Structure 1
């Protein structure tokens, strides 16, 4: 998995980089078909009192690109919220891929039992 971490209006320190990498390990444990991911961390200075920390990710998996973003007062809280949302999206995509619980048309009870009863 290729990982790119960039920051807008902030320097990406090694501590932040390691924190993001540790959180992304949870995603790769659940779904190992991740091609690459691009994380963007930003600080929006609206006013001096109202600072917003924003984290967003574009995760490319086979057949789809998952985009998730989150906003919080703390950068680490924004990253945690981002990874929780991303985990739910990836698990939803994984179950969509693995969902084989549908019955085949030829094995449906209406057609099979009616033909066998005649």
Structure 2
């Protein structure tokens, strides 16, 4: 998995990099098919923004979160991302289950 962390109008310190990495590891352990992850941390006036694009086989998942604190924005972003990944994983499992059920009824 390739992880890219960039900052717009903010310096990505080692502490921010470690925090993002630890939060994303928690999310990515739910799903094995992740090919690359791109994280952009940005500051616009008083608003801190964290956004992530997760590339998985068959889909790209994009999530962004705004907050007054960068760490809180990262927390909100990973919470949203975790829900999206679980939703995508559930859809994959449901479609696979439906295909097996359809195949069994044809016989």
Q: When the two structures are superposed, what TM-score results if normalisation uses the length of structure 1? A: 0.82
Long gaps (5+) in structure 2: none
Aligned to 2:66: 71
- CA root-mean-square deviation: 1.5
Long gaps (5+) in structure 1: 46-50, 109-118
Residue deviations 1:32-69 (CA, integer Å, cap 9, x gap): 11000100000001xxxxx0000001110001110100
Aligned residues: 103
Aligned to 1:95: 90
Q: When the two structures are superposed, what TM-score results if normalisation uses the length of structure 2? A: 0.90
Aligned to 2:13: 13
Larger Rg: 1
